A = this chain, B = another copy of it.
């Protein structure tokens, strides 16, 4: 799995080429990589096949990203944007919206692939670092929203916020992973509603807030 290939020699005369064919190549390779990650995971991802499917010669890939982990890392970073939940004052609505958005950003298959990778997290140090980072960012952005809710009395003071974040994320993700299509907004609303409602009941403050 270790590669000793030299990457593209740094241009000595003219400048780096970013447009036209090069841009097309990078785009198609990243897209294919992400898609295939969803299908077969990191370990069995074959550069050969990525190249073929992307309509590109494998040499090209090896020259740009000498090691598999670099390719995957680059592809991940190219796509991933973390959108924290809004704060409209309505916790359930904000979370629902956030999950709907995060689940519908890409094609379901791609989303599924990403979620699987994050869950799996047994690939390569470099790639894992990115995944862990992503995961942390997403979770903590949601956690922040929940903390706010607690502070405001939208959730009981004793609420185990971290647990809730796990429950919400994993429940929504299980729908993506197990079902054919992305879960509907209504379904996500059910999930969020159940968990938040359940939390309010379970940890209800002794003297009711508000």
Contacts and interface: CB of A to CB of B under 8 A. Distances in A.
A163 B187 contact: yes
A198 B167 CA distance: 13
A118 to B, nearest CB: 10
A174 interface: yes
Given A166-B171, A174-B167, A197-B198, A41 B190 contact: no
Interface string A93-115: 00000000000000000000000
A75 interface: no
A107 B109 CA distance: 32
Nearest to A40: B122
Interface string A31-72: 000000001110110000000000000000000000000000
Interface extent on A, as a size class? 20 to 34
Interface in A183-201: 187, 190-191, 193-199, 201
A198 B193 contact: yes
Contacts of A202: 190, 193-194, 197
17 contacts: A40-B122, A41-B120, A43-B43, A43-B44, A116-B122, A119-B177, A167-B167, A167-B174, A167-B191, A170-B170, A170-B171, A170-B174, A171-B171, A193-B202, A196-B198, A197-B201, A198-B201
Interface of A: 39-41, 43-44, 116, 119-120, 122, 160, 163-164, 166-167, 169-171, 173-175, 177-178, 187, 190-191, 193-199, 201-202
Given A41-B43, A166-B174, 17 more contacts: A40-B43, A40-B122, A41-B122, A44-B44, A116-B122, A167-B171, A167-B191, A169-B174, A170-B174, A171-B171, A190-B202, A193-B198, A194-B198, A196-B198, A197-B197, A197-B202, A201-B201
